[in-house]
């Protein structure tokens, strides 16, 4: 409990230090040093300890708008420390129309330290529910914090895979030259898209068409949506967010008669379940040796099976 409390305060100190340009150990906590913030942090850590250290999931982080007054003056919401804490953990934040602060630096640090995932409830059976009600009356939403305790369905059991969220952009086209679609795909990948693909479809009046799909980081969705509208004949773009489960990845090298080849390993719960020779590495070896690419791939897989690995 003590170590977790210190870890939460360290997140705040690091954020404040980054903002003020000083080491974390030299930070003066100001508001967060107040007694109520100490009670919030330590109390939350004690509560989780007493509950048996459950896994923690949170809803998407939603902040208000407007201004907040702190020790250094009047700042726009989200407060600088709140943004820094969430950003350091890679937690996305959205703003609502509520003209009040909904996420404090203390709350951000608690979420950053304990929450494993963010999003709506999935396959959760509520056994116990707790509510914390604030004294301020919000304009657009209740000033209530809700905690739900309960088991998740078997399909949500814990694995060591990585999780993240991506955006999928889609549009249907029937009036664009294939060359332009190919150029867009190349440009979109160069602009940061994770993947781009075309799917044959049937559109209105039984016209053959093509669905253009773009997979990208959520933060890039608006920029690539605009690119899709500008560079194709699309009049609109559909967008939705998807969750990903990704294997733990490791790049190793294997020795073959064609030279050293890089291989990507995919691991789940410590076991290697995917082995994929890296294309560029195999291509280079193929060009140097004069053998077909398929033979290099097979040699790399065989070398991995024989344990000819060095990291």
**Contact indicator for 204, 78 with CB cutoff of 8 Å:** no
- Strand ranges for 45-190 from DSSP E: 56-58, 61-63, 67-70, 73-76, 93-95, 115-118, 128-133, 144-149, 162-173
Pick from 249, 246, 234, 239: nearest CA to 218: 239
Whether residue 42 has pLDDT greater than 60: yes
> What homologous superfamily does CATH list for 162-245?
Transcriptional regulatory protein pf0864 domain like (3.30.70.1380)
CB within 8 Å of 120: residues ≥ 6 apart: 59
User: What's the rounded mean pLDDT across residues 187-199?
Assistant: 97
Distance separating alpha carbons of residues 223 and 249, to the nearest angstrom: 28
How crowded is residue 126: how many other Cβ atoms within 10 Å of its Cβ?
10
Residue 274 has pLDDT above 60, yes or no: yes
Using only C-alpha atoms, the chain has a radius of gyration, in whole angstroms, of 25
Q: Average per-residue pLDDT in the chain?
A: 89
**pLDDT score of 307 more than 70:** yes
Spatial distance between the Cα atoms of 245 and 159, rounded to a whole number of angstroms: 10
Q: How many Å from the N-terminal Cα to the C-terminal Cα in the chain?
A: 38
Per-residue pLDDT, 127: 93
Q: What is the mean pLDDT of residues 15-29?
A: 70
Residue pointed to by tokens 């867009």: 184
Higher pLDDT, 155 or 189: 189
Per-residue pLDDT averaged across 211-234, rounded?
95
Task: Please report the pLDDT score of residue 308 as a whole number.
Answer: 83
Averaged over 259-284, what is the pLDDT? 94
Q: Give DSSP secondary structure letters for 242-259.
A: EEEEE-EEEEEEEEETTE
Task: Find the range with the poorest average confidence among 22-26, 128-132, 137-141, 296-300.
Answer: 22-26
Share of the chain above pLDDT 70, in %: 93
Q: Residue 210 above 70 pLDDT?
A: yes
Q: pLDDT grade, residue 212 (50/70/90)?
A: very high
pLDDT at 241 over 90: no
Question: What average pLDDT does range 222-242 have in this prediction?
Answer: 95
> Which pLDDT tens digit goes with each residue over 136-185?
999 999 999 999 999 876 545 578 888 888 999 999 999 999 999 999 99
Which pLDDT score is estimated for 195? 97
Residue labelled with tokens 């004949």: 233
Range 39-48, long-range pairs (CB < 8 A, 24+ positions): 40/106, 40/107, 40/110, 41/5, 41/8, 41/9, 41/106, 41/109, 41/110, 42/1, 42/5, 44/8, 44/110, 44/114, 45/1, 45/4, 45/5, 45/8, 46/1, 48/4, 48/114
Averaged pLDDT, 85-110: 92
CA angle 168, 240, 273 (to 5 degrees): 55
Mean pLDDT of all residues in 59-83: 89
CATH of domain 248-310: 3.10.20.300
Structure tokens at 159: 């694995």
Residue intervals of the chain classified under CATH 3.30.70.1380 are: 162-245
How is 173-184 classified by DSSP, letter by letter? ESSS-HHHHHHH
Average pLDDT over residues 124-138: 92
Specify the pairing of strand 162-173 against strand 195-202.
Answer: unpaired
| In the chain, ranges of CATH 3.10.20.300 domains | 248-310
Which pTM does this prediction carry? Answer: 0.55
């Amino acid at each position: 409990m003590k170590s977790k409390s210190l870890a939460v305060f360290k997140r705040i100190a690091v954020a404040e230090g980054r903002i003020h340009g000083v080491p974390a150990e030299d930070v003066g906590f100001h508001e967060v040093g107040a007694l109520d913030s100490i009670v919030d942090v330590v109390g939350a850590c004690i509560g989780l300890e007493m509950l048996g250290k459950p896994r923690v999931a949170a809803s998407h982080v939603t902040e208000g708008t407007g201004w907040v007054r702190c020790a250094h003056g009047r700042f726009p919401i989200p407060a600088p420390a709140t943004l820094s804490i969430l950003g350091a953990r890679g937690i996305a934040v959205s703003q609502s129309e509520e003209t009040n602060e909904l996420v404090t630096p203390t709350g951000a640090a608690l979420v950053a330290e304990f929450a494993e995932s963010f999003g709506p409830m999935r396959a959760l059976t509520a056994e116990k529910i707790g509510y914390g009600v604030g004294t301020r009356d919000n304009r657009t939403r209740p000033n209530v914090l809700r905690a739900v305790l309960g088991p998740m369905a078997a399909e949500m059991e814990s694995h060591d895979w990585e999780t993240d969220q991506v955006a999928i952009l889609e549009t249907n086209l029937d009036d664009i030259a294939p060359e332009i679609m190919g150029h867009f795909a190349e440009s979109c990948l160069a602009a940061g898209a994770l993947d781009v693909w075309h799917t044959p479809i049937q559109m209105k009046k039984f016209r053959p068409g093509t669905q253009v799909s773009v997979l990208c980081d959520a933060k890039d969705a608006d920029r690539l949506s605009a690119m899709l509208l500008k560079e194709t004949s699309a009049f609109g773009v559909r967008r939705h967010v998807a969750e990903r489960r990704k294997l733990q990845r490791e790049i190793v090298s294997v020795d073959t008669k064609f030279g050293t080849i890089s291989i990507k390993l995919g691991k789940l719960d410590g076991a290697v379940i995917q082995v994929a020779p890296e294309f560029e590495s195999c291509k280079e070896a193929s060009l140097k040796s004069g053998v077909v690419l398929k033979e290099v791939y097979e040699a790399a897989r065989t070398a991995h099976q024989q344990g000819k690995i060095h990291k």
